[in-house]
């Protein structure tokens, strides 16, 4: 089955860390730009970070000092390291892959991406 599957979410206390994974199956991730998004209840989806095929990264300013994107094309997986989490980080985190880095960075409708995962829930609470 051709898809992206996120994992690694869960319940974490404020100040804690998580590593999210996004694994591609049925296709090779190395020819795609990748990105992470999140959507909190009642809020619009927001872009977090992206990485091009060349490894160049982009972060939304207010998250760049706490979140880190990386990719391992051998494992066909993209990661998002989340540090110093706070309750405002509670959301469903999604990954996307697209041949057009502009769509990842500038945003597009979910169905416009080549691949978009179902998401993994991150809940930050004491």
**45-55 confidence digits (pLDDT tens):** 999 999 999 99
- Express each pLDDT in 16-38 by its tens digit: 999 999 999 999 999 999 999 99
Of 91, 7, 76, 3, residue with least CA distance to 43 = 91
What is the greatest pairwise CA distance in the chain?
40
Secondary structure element (H or E) that encloses residue 101, with its range: helix 101-106
For 125, residues 6+ apart whose C-beta sits below 8 A from its C-beta are: 11, 13, 14, 87, 90
The answer to whether 4 and 97 have CB atoms below 8 angstroms apart is yes
The confidence band for 59, taking pLDDT boundaries of 50, 70 and 90, is: very high
pLDDT at 110: 86
């Amino acid at each position: 089955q051709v898809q992206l599957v996120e994992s690694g979410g869960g319940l974490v206390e404020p100040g804690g860390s998580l590593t999210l994974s996004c694994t591609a199956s049925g296709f090779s991730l190395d020819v795609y730009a990748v990105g992470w998004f999140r959507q909190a209840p009642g809020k619009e989806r927001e872009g977090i970070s992206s990485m091009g095929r060349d490894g160049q990264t982009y972060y939304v300013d207010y998250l760049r000092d706490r979140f880190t994107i990386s990719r391992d094309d051998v494992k066909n997986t993209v990661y998002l390291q989340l540090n110093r989490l706070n309750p405002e980080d509670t959301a469903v985190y999604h990954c996307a892959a697209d041949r057009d880095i502009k769509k990842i960075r500038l945003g597009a409708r979910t169905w416009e991406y080549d691949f978009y995962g179902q998401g993994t829930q991150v809940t930050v609470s004491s």
